[in-house]
């Protein structure tokens, strides 16, 4: 499977409880087809205190990964969630192109 989402891309969630939210990709696992998005898919975990001063107990928020099929990259030119195609430019390099406006991703 070709992954058209890269690290530090702005993506929009298109399915699930966080639908419509945008965030930056922090990490991608191509093997599992998962991505960690900053500030998205936060879950609460109950943490038990360990030791005397090492770790406090309480409720903490943790970012969990999202499957890549729930994400769509946001075009920097038209600022909309879009599909991405790859074109070979005149100088021989590959570039990711927006399907809506033909704008180039950085």
CA 66-47-26 angle, to 5 degrees, is: 30
| 44 or 106, higher pLDDT | 44
Domains in the chain, CATH or no CATH each: 10-46+61-98 (2.30.30.30)
CB 72 within 8 A of CB 14: yes
Residue 1 has pLDDT above 70, yes or no: no
- Summarised one tens digit per residue, pLDDT across range 28-65 is 998 999 999 999 999 999 998 887 767 788 999 999 99
pTM of the model: 0.82
């Amino acid at each position: 499977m070709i992954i058209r989402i890269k690290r530090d891309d702005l993506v929009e969630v298109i399915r699930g409880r966080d639908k419509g939210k945008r965030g930056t990709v922090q990490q991608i696992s191509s093997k599992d087809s998962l991505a960690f998005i900053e500030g998205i898919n936060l879950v609460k975990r109950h943490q038990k205190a360990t030791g005397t001063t090492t770790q406090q107990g309480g409720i903490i928020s943790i970012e969990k990964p999202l499957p890549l099929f729930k994400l769509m990259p946001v075009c920097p030119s038209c600022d909309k969630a879009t599909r991405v195609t790859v074109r070979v430019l005149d100088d021989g390099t590959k570039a990711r192109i927006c399907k809506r406006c033909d704008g180039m991703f950085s």
